[in-house]
Structure 1
Amino acid sequence: MEADDSGFEITQQQGAWVVRMWWPVGPVNGGPQRITIEPADDAPAREVVRGISTTVLRRLDVAAALGLAKQAPEAQRTLGEVAGKLNGMGEAAGLALEGEGVSERYLALLVAAYTAMADFGAPAPIPWLARLIGRRPETVKDHLKRARRDGFLTTVAGKAGGELTDKAKAILEEMTEAGSQVG
C-alpha cells in the first residue's frame, strides 16, 4: 500500500502486469476511483507486446483491494473525524427541533446532516439521524419529505441523499454568521 498527498493505492500483480487501485484520503465507501495497469519491471517483452488481456482484467481482485483500503490508516484517520462532525450536525438539528419545532432552521440542519451522511456512505442515514435527534425513523422520513416539499432538498432517484438547495444553504450561512458574531 502506498500513499500520496491526496490518496492511497493498493497494488496487485496479475501476471506481467502491475495493477494500482487508488482511493482518496477519507472514508472508503466503494471501489477505487482510479485504476492503472502497467507492465511489471520484470515482465517478459512478449507478454507486454500482446497487451492487457481480458483474463488479466477478470482476475483483478477489487473486493480484496477494497477490504485492504477500508483498513488503511488514511481511511481510518478521517473516519472518526467525519463521524464526529456528522454527530455534531445531527445533535444541532435535534436541539433546533426541541427549541423551535419543525422550523426552517431545523429543516436546514436536518438536510445538511442527512446529505453529509449519504455523501459519506453511511449505510443507514435515517436510523442514525433518528437516534441523534431522538425521534423515530418514520418521523425523520416525514421531516425529510417536508424538507423536499418546502424546497430545502432535491431528490435523487433511487438512492439516499440529494443536494442542499440555495434556500437551505442561505439559512445555514445565516446561522453560521450569527454564531460567529456571538463571541
Structure 2
Amino acid sequence: MEADGSGFEITQKQGAWVVHMWWPVGPISGGPQRITIEPAEDAPAREVARGISTTVLRRLDVVAALELAKQAPEAQRTLEELSGKVNEMGEAAGLALEGEGVSERYLTLLVATYTVMADFGAPAPIPWLARLIGRRPETVKDHLKRARRDGFLTTVAGKAGGELTDKVKAILEEMTEAGSQGG
C-alpha cells in the first residue's frame, strides 16, 4: 500500500502486469476511483507486446484490494472524523426538533446529516440517524419525505441520499455565520 497527499493505492501483480488501484483519502464506500495497469519491470517483452488480456482483467482482485483499502490508516482516520461530525450534526438536529418541531432549521440539519452519511456509504443511514435524534426510523423517513417535498433535498433514483438544494445551502451558511458571530 502506498499513500500520497490526496489518496492511496493498492498494488497487485497479475502475470506480466502491475495493477495500481487508487482511492482518495477518506472513508471507503466502494471500489477504486482509478485503476492503472502497466508492465512489470521483469515482464517478458513478448507479453508486453501482446497487450493486456481479458484474463488479466478477470483476475483483478478488486474485493481483496477494497478490504485492504478499508484498513488503510487514511481511511480509518477520516472515518473517525466523519463519525464525530455526523454525531454532532445529528445531535444538533435532535435539539432543533425538540425546541422547534419540524422547522426549516431542523429539516436542514436532518438532510445535511443524512447526505453526509449516504455519500460516505454509511450502512443503514436512516436507523443510525433515528438513534442520533431520538426518534423512530419511520418518523425520520417521513421527515426526509417532507424535506424532499419542501425542496430541501433532491432524489437520487435507486439509492440513499440526494443533493442538498440551494435553499438548504443558504440556511446552513446563515447558521454557520450566526454560530461564528455568537461564539
Q: Name the TM-score, length of structure 2 as normaliser.
A: 0.99
1:11-56 deviation per Cα after TM superposition (whole angstroms, max 9, x unaligned)? 0000000000000011111100000000000000010000000000
Q: CA–CA distance in 1 between the matches of 2:170 and 2:16?
A: 55
Matched, 1:44 2:44: yes
Deviates more, 1:167-176 or 1:78-87: 167-176
User: Which runs of no fewer than 5 residues in structure 2 stay unpaired?
Assistant: none
Find the counterpart in structure 1 of residue 72 from structure 2. 72
Find the counterpart in structure 1 of residue 161 from structure 2. 161
Q: CA–CA distance in 2 between the matches of 1:27 and 1:93?
A: 23
Q: CA–CA distance in 1 between the matches of 2:77 and 2:109?
A: 25
Q: CA–CA distance in 1 between the matches of 2:148 and 2:137?
A: 16
**Could you tell me which amino acid in structure 1 is paired with residue 160 of structure 2?**
A
Matched, 1:151 2:151: yes
1:105-162 deviation per Cα after TM superposition (whole angstroms, max 9, x unaligned)? 0000000000111011101110000000000000000000000111111111111001
Q: CA–CA distance in 1 between the matches of 2:100 and 2:15?
A: 63
Q: CA–CA distance in 2 between the matches of 1:63 and 1:14?
A: 15
Q: CA–CA distance in 1 between the matches of 2:182 and 2:77?
A: 32
Q: CA–CA distance in 2 between the matches of 1:81 and 1:154?
A: 26
Give the number of equivalent residue pairs. Answer: 183
Find the counterpart in structure 2 of residue 56 from structure 1. 56
**Could you tell me which amino acid in structure 1 is paired with residue 149 of structure 2?**
R
SS of equivalent to 1:109: helix
Q: CA–CA distance in 1 between the matches of 2:181 and 2:148?
A: 30
SS of equivalent to 2:57: helix
Find the counterpart in structure 2 of residue 113 from structure 1. 113
**Could you tell me which amino acid in structure 2 is paired with residue 13 of structure 1?**
K
Find the counterpart in structure 2 of residue 137 from structure 1. 137
Q: Percent identity?
A: 90
Q: CA–CA distance in 2 between the matches of 1:150 and 1:79?
A: 31
**Could you tell me which amino acid in structure 1 is paired with residue 4 of structure 2?**
D
Find the counterpart in structure 1 of residue 32 from structure 2. 32
Runs ≥4 residues deviating over 6 A: none
Q: Name the TM-score, length of structure 1 as normaliser.
A: 0.99
Q: CA–CA distance in 1 between the matches of 2:166 and 2:7?
A: 31
Find the counterpart in structure 1 of residue 11 from structure 2. 11
Deviates more, 1:132-141 or 1:68-77: 68-77
- CA-atom RMSD, angstroms? 0.6
SS of equivalent to 1:85: helix
1:63-111 deviation per Cα after TM superposition (whole angstroms, max 9, x unaligned)? 0000100011111111100000011111100000000000000000000
Q: CA–CA distance in 2 between the matches of 1:33 and 1:162?
A: 20
SS of equivalent to 2:27: coil
SS of equivalent to 2:21: strand
SS of equivalent to 2:130: helix
Find the counterpart in structure 1 of residue 92 from structure 2. 92
Q: CA–CA distance in 1 between the matches of 2:16 and 2:42?
A: 8
**Could you tell me which amino acid in structure 1 is paired with residue 124 of structure 2?**
A
How far did residue 170 of structure 1 move? 1.1
